[in-house]
Structure formats: structure tokens, C-alpha cells
Amino acid sequence: MKLLFILCFIPWSAFTQIPQAMRDSINRVTQADYEQMLNQLNIKKNQLRPGPSGNPSDANAANNFENKVNQYALPDPLLLKNGKPVKDENAWWNLRRPEIVNDFEQEVYGRLPNEIPKVSWRIISVKDTIVGNQPIKQKILKGVVDNSTYRAVNVEIEFLVATPAHANSAVPLVLELGWIKSSWDNSPIKPIGLGSAAEPTWKEQLISNGWGYAIVVPSSIQADNGAGLTRGIIGLVNKGTYRKPDEWGALRAWAWGASRALDYLETDKDVDAKRVAIEGLSRYGKAALVAMAFDSRFSLGFIGSSGAGGAKILRRIFGEQVENLCSSGGYHWFAGNFIKYASTKTIDDLPVDAHELLAMCAPRPVFISAGSPQVEGQWIDAKGMFLAGVHAGPVYQLLNRKDLNTNVFPALGSALTSGEIAFRQHAGGHSTGPNWSTWIGWASKYWKN
């Protein structure tokens, strides 16, 4: 399971630090939650299709060969459900986009509840410190969610904001879904095969460019397992009861948390809230794309190795598949309804695909990032993410923006950054690290001082 391990390394490494008895309990509760959702959907266990393996030597190994990719037909983002074409911006905003939003909410990521408790932001500390050799002003905050309607669940969102110490005005900022304490953040970025000099960390690069960064911790919003669905923000809203099949999963909850962090940034005089980007890697790359698609306030996107359930074409049989996402290890990211497409229905029955999630971000610029197949592996399907960008292009063009300007998959290291949809596959592993300098150069076109 080497490739799957690479994809899930950071969350799994954290999970293994938990005592075995607690891990066993999490697995038991997750399985019970999964089975009750199957019961709500009237899906029998023998109707669930197993997903392919990330280990190339296994008999059921995921496809990693282009000559074995299936033929598939994608939903047309510019064709209304009544069969009429979308010919102008008005039809996109008022007719077609709402159809796509509804399908993603109903069948994939789940709907937000009508009433979600308010978040009150508290500044825990403010200090002057340095990142690399760059002086910064750093704030640590806690977002306390009102639990007056259900005291059994507490949600306190962990949040860090850092801006250049000597900035003369409010600065643009990148909001990352990630960890505040992470050894990866403090290590130089070492390109593989595309030069020998190590780059500064992503934080140093942003600060030296006169920009800021912020980190919101997804696990402080909603746990990354099915056992946590009766706790966290989802459990708080549901008062500790099980979800219904069309209700939000962890990806939508994490995206909601990113939006609440943006609420705070709109009040911070050090930050230009009109120029805030959303960034994430892997499962947090999925959540970052969901956040940008559903919240138009995010100015730019930096979507790292998000794979299936993120920027990858789901209908494309290569790497991770819908059956993997809908297993007991991944179903909690999505609405329960999504499980139907790994059991009683097929992925071809899904009314939407990843290119339409990208199209929901239009006309705002989105950068799709991936690593080398030799280092990161093929599980995330870099070409499948590129093709989603290609097929989102017509919507960007309709809105008078530039697309990728090609449908030919680029060579490793080649940056497609001339338009509002951008793509680069770097030579490193499961990281956005080697793409930060390229992203900053591309983003600078939109964040001119």
C-alpha cells in the first residue's frame, strides 16, 4: 500500500500516536456510523464495490497506465438540465451554476444546515517574532463556537495569522488548511531534478514578498474519521445524532471553518481581505477547493494534490476511485448520498464531476498543483486533475477569462500559468512545496499593489 501510505502519511502518522485501545474504539464507532448510513440509504454491504489498491503488486491494483484508461463522457457545464445551452453570463449565474451547486450539495459534499452556531474569535496571543530572517507579527486565535443549544459538544477552532512586521498597509494573505505546529513548515523546500538549491519555506517566501499567511486547523473543526461525526461542528449542529444522507461531511465542514476564518480576517486591519487565497494539500486540498467553490470571497486558489474528491475527474479510471472514497475510511468526507455511486449506482450516474467544481470557482483564478509520478506516485492522478482544468475552461471563457490554453498534458516542471486556470506538476513528492515560487509569481499578476 505504498502509494496510499504516501497520500495519507501525515494523518495516519498522527493516528498511530493514539493508544491502541482508543484507535480500536474509533474504528468501532466509525464502522457503526458507516453501517447506519448504509441502512438509511437501503444499501446492503454486498452491494458495495471494493476500491482498487494503491499497491501496484496487488491483484486489484489501481490502474496506472494511460493506455488502459476508460472512455467516459462528462456532464457539460454549459448545458442546462432542460437541454438548452448556456449562451451568456446571465444564464450561467442564474440558471446553470445553481443547478451544479445543488447537485454537489445533494450528491457529493452535503448541504450546510440552515442554522449553524456563531463563532466568536478570541485573540490568545500577539507577538513579534521571525520566520527565517523575516520579522513578523504573529497572532494566535481561538474560534469558540456557541454551544448553548448542546453543551455536550465543544468546538474551538485553532487559527494563526502572521503578517510582515513592518508593513505600511494591509497585506494580501494565504489561508492554509493545515497544522500550526508542523516540522514540514520549518524545512527548506528542496527541488528534485529541477535544480539543486533549496528554496526558503513557503512562509518565508510569502513574508519576503510582503504578504501574510494564516493557518486554520481542520481537525479542530471536525475530526477526520467517521467516529467524529456526532461531535465537532457536525455533531454540535445535529446535537450528537447521526447525519441524514444529504447533510454535510468533513470536507464541507472544513471549508465552512475556512470561511469563518475569513470572517475574522475581514476584521483584521493588518490583512487585505479582498486578497485572501485558500490553499491546502491532499484531503485539505480537496477542502480548499470546496471552500473556494462555495465561498466567492476567496480571491485565489492553490489546490495541492487533491486527487479524487477534489480536482481529479472521477469518471476517469486511473488511481484512486469513488469506491475508495466511499469506504469506511473516507465516506465521512462526503454526504452519505455519495456512497450510492460506489454501490447501487456507478460514477457515470453522478450528475457532476470535478471540472464543474472548478467551474464553480470561475472567474476567480485557480492553480492546480501535483507532484512527480516517480516520487508522489500515481494515486492522485495528476493528468486527471489537469483534464478537469481543461474541461472547466469553457466556463472561464464564457466569463471572459483565460483557460489553460491547451489540452496537451505538459512535461514535468512545465508551468501553465498564462490564464486564470493554472497547472504545474513539480518534480517532488506529496507537497505543494516546490510549486510555491511558481504560484507566487502567478498570483502576483492578480495581487498587484
Return the residue matching grid coordinates 440558471.
95
The structural domain count of the chain equals 1
- What does the pLDDT average to over 270-285? 99
Say yes or no to pLDDT of 31 above 60: yes
| Residue 316 maps to a domain | yes
Q: Read off the pLDDT of residues 68-108 as tens digits, 9 standing for 90 and up.
A: 999 999 999 999 999 999 999 999 999 999 999 999 999 99
Instruction: Take residue 159 and report the three cell numbers written for it.
Output: 487559527
Q: Which amino acid is at 430?
A: H
Tell me whether residue 121 is in a domain. Answer: no
Q: What is the dihedral of CA 418, 423, 424, 429, to 10 degrees?
A: 160
**Residue 201 belongs to some domain of the structure:** yes
Does any domain span residue 415? yes
Tell me what pLDDT residue 16 has.
63
The C-alpha atoms of residue 238 and residue 232 are separated, in whole angstroms, by 10
Q: Judge whether 124 lies within some domain.
A: no
Contact status, residue 177 vs residue 287, Cβ threshold 8 Å? yes
Residue 135 within a domain? no
Give 390-409 pLDDT, tens digit per residue: 999 999 999 999 999 999 99
Q: What pLDDT does residue 181 have?
A: 82
Domain containing residue 349: CATH number: 3.40.50.1820
CB of 209 closer than 8 Å to CB of 171: no
Q: Between these two residues, 275 and 16, which has the higher pLDDT value?
A: 275
Span of 10-14, 166-170, 240-244, 330-334 with lowest mean pLDDT: 10-14
Q: Is 156 part of any domain?
A: no
**Helix, coil or strand: residue 445:** coil
Between CA 361 and CA 295 the distance in angstroms is 9
CA distances from 324 to 12, 258, 308 (A): 16, 26, 9
pLDDT at 224: 98
Summarize the chain as % helix, strand, coil (round to 5).
35, 20, 45
310-325 pLDDT, tens digit per residue, is 999 999 999 999 999 9
The radius of gyration of the chain from alpha carbons, rounded to an integer in Å, stands at 21
Cell 454486498 maps to which residue? Answer: 46
347's grid cell: 460514477
* pLDDT band with cut points at 50, 70 and 90 for residue 10: very low
Concatenating the DSSP letter of every residue in 93-156 gives: IIIIHHHHHHHHIIIII-BPPS----EEEEEEEEEEEEETTEEEEEEEEEEEEP-TT-TT---E
Mean pLDDT, the chain, rounded, equals: 94
Q: Which residue shows C-alpha cell 461525526?
A: 229
| Residue 349, C-beta contacts closer than 8 angstroms, at least 6 positions apart | 340, 341
Q: What pLDDT, in 10s, does the model give residues 319-343?
A: 999 999 999 999 999 999 999 999 9
Q: In terms of C-beta density within 10 A (0-12 exposed, 13-18 middle, 19 or more buried), how is residue 76 classed?
A: middle
Bridge partners (DSSP) listed for residue 233: none
Q: Would you say the C-alpha torsion 327, 329, 330, 333 has a positive or negative sign?
A: positive
Residue 259 in any domain: the answer is: yes
Q: Is the pLDDT of residue 170 over 50?
A: yes
**For residue 185, what pLDDT is reported?**
54
> How many CB atoms neighbour CB 325 within 10 A?
23
pLDDT at 353 over 90: yes
Domain of residue 174, residue span: 2-116+168-443
> pLDDT class for 309, splitting at 50, 70, 90?
very high
Give the rounded percent of residues in the chain with a pLDDT score beyond 90: 90
Residue 9 has pLDDT above 70, yes or no: no
If one compares 18 and 41, the residue with the highest pLDDT of the two is 41
Q: What is the mean pLDDT of residues 165-194?
A: 76
Reported as a pLDDT band with limits 50, 70 and 90, residue 448 is confident
Residue 120 contacts residue 144 (beta carbons within 8 Å): yes
Over residues 359-377, the mean pLDDT reads: 98
Q: What is the pLDDT of residue 13?
A: 54
Q: What is the pLDDT of residue 137?
A: 98
d(CA 129, CA 201): 16
- Side by side, the strands of the sheet bearing 171-177 are 119-131, 134-145, 156-164, 212-216, 171-177, 271-281, 300-304, 366-370, 421-425, 415-416
pTM: 0.94
